[in-house]
Each structure stands twice: as structure tokens, then as C-alpha cells.
Amino acid sequence: MTALKQKGRFVIRFELGLLGMFSLTLVTGCIFFWMFIIGIWAGQTILQPTPGEKKSPLAKLAGALQPGNHAALEPVASSGQKKDVAPEPGAPPESGPAAETEWAEAEPSFFALQVSAVRDQDRAQQDVAQWRGRGYEAFSVPPEDKDDPFIRIYVGKFDKLADANQLIAKLEKEEKVKAYIALLPASRLQAP
């Protein structure tokens, strides 16, 4: 009776020996390797501008975040040539959208850890003083626009993301504080 039940079912069975398993693993590994290579190539192609086109904002960001690549942050004239004279810090940019983009690219930035956000200026000053009392370099940043009511409190000022990650681990372990890494332009930094 069991023979009758099995006779009505459709069964597919694969049997592989040791060499077959090795071959299947090798072919699968090669497929994944080529998918990885093609993915990297496609990602680089997306970041590259087409001929005659300016760099995309994503490509500018990717180039600027490369370690030691400070040339990506230098101002560039509309013809693609580097400007001979950099604008003075604090000087207003020339008018026009191209000049605003060049000014934003030339502005230095740094990493900092956001530890809190408060609505009251007095509370912000107290928090900054408290963090400085603990031995950290702390500062506050005013709201970016009228719809944002929060004054953000930051700790540290780092050129490298790795240094910011080290401090974040220390703050979570020793201070029991959840902090967030932010990339801030130097112009947003308030004088103490």
C-alpha cells in the first residue's frame, strides 16, 4: 500500500558526489564574485559625470570624504580651473548659484558628537558648561532655521571620523550617553 502512495507523487532528486559539490560551490562563488565586481563598477560609473557634465553632488561628496582628499574641497571656477585666490573666511560669496556652490565646497568642516538638543538658551549654556566641567570640548549650535526650535549641544571637534567613533564609544561606556556623529561646517561654530 505504501508503494501505491509513492507512485502517485512526483519526486525530483539530485545526487552529487564530492566532486559535484566542489564544482557547484566553485561556480556559485565565481558568480557572486563577478556580481560583486560588476556592482563596484556600476557604483563607480554612477558617481562619474558624463562627458560635458559637471560633477554630481553625490560624486562631490564621495570625493570629499576620501581620506586626505582636500583638493575636492577647494573652490573651482566655472571653467573647471582652480581659482587663483580663495575667498576670505567670513566674506560673502559672489552672487549666483555657481558661486554659492563653490563657496559651500570650499568651506572647511569637521565631525562632532551631538549629545543633546534643548529649546532654551540658558539650558544650552548650562549643558555646555557641564560637559566642559567633565573635561570635554563642548559647544552649542543655534537652530538652522525658524522652524527648528532646538539648540544642539556638541562635544569634540574631529578631522577624522575614526576619532569621533572612538569618543562615541567612550561616551556610551563611561557617561552612559547616546551621541550622534554630525558633519558640521566651520561657519556654524559659535564663539564661546
CATH code at 152? 3.30.70.1070
Do 128 and 153 touch, CB atoms closer than 8 A?
A: yes
Distance, in Å, from the CA atom of 177 to the CA atom of 81, rounded to the nearest integer, reads 46
Average pLDDT value for residue range 72-91: 46
Per residue in 91-135, pLDDT (tens digit) is 444 544 554 555 445 578 888 999 999 999 999 999 999 999 989
pLDDT for residue 61:
60
58 vs 109, residue with greater confidence: 109
Domain that includes residue 168, residue range: 109-188
Asked if residue 113 and residue 43 are part of one domain, the reply reads no
Question: pLDDT tier at 22 (50, 70, 90 boundaries)?
Answer: very high
3-class state of residue 117 by DSSP: strand
Q: What is the pLDDT of residue 59?
A: 58
| Confidence at 69, pLDDT banded by 50, 70, 90 | low
The whole-angstrom separation of Cα 117 and Cα 143 is: 10
Flag whether 94 is in a domain.
no
Which pLDDT belongs to residue 11? Answer: 85
| 136-145: long-range pairs with CB below 8 Å, 24+ | 139/112, 139/189, 139/190, 139/192, 140/190, 141/184, 141/188, 141/189, 141/190, 142/190
Task: Tell me the one-letter amino acid at 149.
Answer: P
**Are 48 and 60 within 8 A, CB to CB?**
no
150 falls within a domain: yes
Helix (H) or strand (E) holding 65: none
> Is the pLDDT assigned to residue 2 strictly greater than 60?
no
- The three-state secondary structure class of 137 is coil
For residue range 134-192, list pLDDT tens digits in order.
899 999 988 888 888 888 999 998 888 888 888 988 888 888 888 888 888 877 775 54
> Residue 87 has what pLDDT?
47
In-domain check, residue 5: no
In a domain, 132, yes or no: yes
Q: How many domains does the chain have?
A: 2
pLDDT band at 75, cuts 50/70/90? very low
The residue written with cell numbers 563577478 in the block is 34
Structural domain includes residue 119 = yes
